[in-house]
Amino acid sequence: MTPNRTSLLVLALATLAAGAHLWPVPPEQLEMLTRGFLLPWLGMAVLAALLVQLLLTGRRGDTPGLIAIGFILSVLGRVAVEGFTGTGVHSLWPVEVALGGGIGFSGGWLGMMAGTIIDRYRQRRTWR
C-alpha cells in the first residue's frame, strides 16, 4: 500500500475511533471534561494507534499526528452537523477541537510506543 493510502487509512481509522465514542451522545448530554468521557476516548486513541503500529508495517513517527488529526476531524464533523441541524453549537467548540487533538496525540503516542515495544519483543522472540 502506498504511503498516501496508508495515511488516509490511518486518518479514517482515527476519525471512526473518535466518532464511535463522540457521535452517539446527544449535544445536551455531552460532557467532554469528565473522566467518564476522556478515559474511554483516550483508550480509543491508544487502540487505534496500536492497531496501526501492529498491522501496518513501516508506520512509526507520523502515527500520533495522524491520530490527532483524525480526532480533530471527528470533533469538527460533530460541530458542523450540530450547526447545520440547529441542535446547539456553543462557543466552546474550539476547546473541544483542542481537547480532541490533545487526546488524539497523547493516545496516538502511547499506542505507538506500545506497538513499538510489542513489535521489538516479537522480533526478539523470533530470533531465539
Q: Is residue 118 part of a domain?
A: yes
Q: Is residue 30 part of a domain?
A: no
Q: Is residue 7 part of a domain?
A: yes
- pLDDT digit string, tens, across residues 70-100: 999 999 998 888 888 876 667 788 888 999 9
Structural domain count, the chain: 1
- pLDDT digit string, tens, across residues 1-47: 677 788 888 899 999 999 888 888 877 787 877 888 889 999 999 99
Q: Is residue 69 part of a domain?
A: yes
pLDDT at residue 105, as a whole number: 96
- pLDDT digit string, tens, across residues 40-73: 999 999 999 998 888 876 666 788 999 999 999 9
Q: Tell me how far CA of residue 113 lies from CA of 8, 11, 85, 90, 104, in angstroms.
A: 21, 18, 40, 36, 14
Residue whose C-alpha cell reads 515495544 in the numeric block: 117
- pLDDT digit string, tens, across residues 105-115: 999 999 999 98
Alpha-carbon distance of 75 to 96, in angstroms, equals 7
Give the domain range for residue 87. Answer: 3-25+35-127
- Radius of gyration of the chain from its Cα atoms, rounded to whole angstroms: 16
Q: Is residue 47 part of a domain?
A: yes
Q: Tell me how far CA of residue 88 lies from CA of 15, 23, 66, in angstroms.
A: 22, 14, 28
pLDDT at residue 74, as a whole number: 93
